[in-house]
Structure 1
Amino acid sequence: MKLHCNVEIYDRTLSLRRKSQRSILAYVKVKDGDVCIHFWTRMNKQGTKYKIKNNIRKVFEKFNFEGKATISLIEPCHDLIIQSNPIQLKSFLNILKNVTDGYCRDIERYILKSNTTFSSSEFYSLKKVVVKKKSEYPILQGFPRMTEQLFLSGLDRKSFDRQILTLQSLRLLDLSNNKISFLPKELGTLPHLQTLNLSHNNLGKSVKSKWTWLEQAALRSNLYFLDIRDNLLTELPVQIGQLKALRELKICNNMLTQLPQSIGTLNKLKLLNVANNNLLLLPGMIQHLQLSSVDISGNSFLQNSYDITFNKNTLDIILPSLVELSARHLLKSRITYDASIIPYTLVRYLDEAKYCFSCKNACFDFYSRLLSDFRPYEFSITMKSTLSQPVKYEFYFCSKQCYKLYVSLFYNFLDM
């Protein structure tokens, strides 16, 4: 096996510490049949061999769960201070223990040829990997397991590479300017993913059920930047409302005619770019958000000054369904949910909820809808817009009392 890692060498004789370098460690056999550790760097592609037999002074592995370990050698008097992926490092040290203990069964499958060399492209930065050409794509060797930033833009890829799912330290993923139409559910389980650029792909060709990656707990808690510009989207998935940590959302240059009501629940959202779509109105709930930048230019919003539809019959007191009672109870208890905990039909029911503009509570089967260009609340900055007339908003109300509260705001505004 080969271990992609950072290695810092400490020379105990000279009390000299060499700067940490991007390196590859592996096991090879020398002429006498003994196994040694072979150490390569970008500057030393021929590598350096360290004997193992009767030459390991001590192995410090107290912090191997953090991906840190030190191999102390007798000759030369070097300490190899290693930082790598915890799982890979543990496997590497287990093989070393077997060799030092003389237990060499099946060891051959972990040993590389003694004349093995590596190209410069193998020595990726452990934190940032940029692949600019198809010919540089690491199909066989994979990405360093400690990669934190991965840029795979403009490679004309049609499918998602599942080896990305092994990068448990990944914080930024750029898959822009490809032809990807499907993302696996497991993408949403990457524990540290914060920035995701999917612009200029074909996600609009993905069916609704293929957006389950948005529902996963890790992504909902950590993702703060999402760019899905230029994706042929005709509908924004309702699961977008589950990304409670989201601060920036770019969905411009698509074919959206409306936004899901759940977008108004993204309380941390600061930047919203919906320019150059086919939007007819905006969810009224976004007026509650503390947005600092909103771009709605290039849309064809409804132009009537007051196009109001209000159906009071939907607010009559009717016994709610068991599904609605379950949904209300779940929201009241503030339980984090997904399809692994509750039925998927209930998840969808919750995702598609409307939200009362007055009390901000979810409303399901019974609500009133109102279209108006009246803005009770103002954003912190002026919208970027190409329209000469006010934007139309879609408001929902869960009760007559909540509707009357909105009306009172309207009349108070007229009296000012």
Structure 2
Amino acid sequence: MRAQIVTIGDEILIGQITDTNSQFIAGKLDELGFEVRRMLSISDEADDIRLNLDLALESSDCVILTGGLGPTKDDITKTTLANYFGVGFKQVPEVRARVKEIFARYGKEVPEVSYSQSSVPENCTVLMNSNGTAPGMWFETKEGKVVISLPGVPIEMKGLMEEEVLPRLKDHFDLQFNLHRTILTVGMGESEIMGIIGAWEDLLIQKNIKLAYLPSSGRVRLRLSSRGANRDLLDKNLEEEVEKLYQLIPNIIFGEEETDLAEAVGELFRERSMTLSTAESCTGGFIAHRLTSFAGSSEFFKGSVVSYDNEVKTGVLKVEKEVLEEHGAVSREVVEQMAVQVKDIMKTDYAVSVSGIAGPGGGTSEKPVGTVWVGMAGPGGFLKSRKFDFGNQRTANIYRTSNAVLNMLRKQLLK
């Protein structure tokens, strides 16, 4: 079954708010077994609503609209839907009582305009809103297709989806299963990955499996998706292909689904009963932040020195002034000393250090914006450093640096 999602509101089109409703609804519809074919945002204009509803119903079995159900003059969705279906309005006493109850909670009289929420198109099934005054509306066409109109307020929309819409959709449609497996990789771009797994990818169609490459800031998610009526068969086919993927690119896979790279690295440290510290310049403590953002990090992470200023590098980390003057802060020599010293200060098994030019300013012809040096010190005098050349976007450079550091640690611990 195919579905479309339409958000209504000029506030979305002018960039005043972000449309999070479509993302939530799409996820729920996918879980239920729908094939979501389109999501779009349109203006608060009756002609736009009618036109896009026509187009949506031509190619979809279910259309969900959000927005425009308030009691004020700019909220026209309800009236437009009544005109679209050629019906009048009916009063719903339960909704009127709900409006009165909500205002009574705050000790307020109900403005007459708010009672208009109890007036709905006479051909709709009312979906009671447990989080607000505007009810949802369920319409069915002669062909058995469904149009659902929901409030645009996220908490109200989510409540109606969970309590009313999803159970009704499950009963109304004969739905198939949508299954996904997402494999998380780091340290290799999507083109490089495709070069390795391309032949395997070409064969996925034989099992009705689609592969999507989802790149972002130094990592690529590989999502395998399959639809069908036999859930067990879908599970079996996906599992078989995931196993093949692990065999093809074992060194760059760090987890599945929502696993964070920092959490995966932390688990490696815990498994080995090893400890870690960081010395950070250009990342300003972001690596430490990522490493301590999940429960259990205190078992392996000891601390960090944010040596943003060179005086901290020399005063706290004891980096030699002569080395700083000769090679500069962004250099192999400096990050190696930073890593060795913070490892000694924190008394950890491993330590990592970073120094770079995050941008947008500060770059030179020899060391342009995006130049980052990473150092790593470990047991038995182990010492390693590597230079990275990222782009000119400050926030992206900080995140990419953290991914690079975490991936270096991951690969070292897996040796």
How does the TM-score come out when normalised to structure 2? 0.24
**Richer in helix (by share):** 2
Ranked by relative contact order (alpha carbons within 8 Å, sequence separation 6 or more), the top structure is: 2
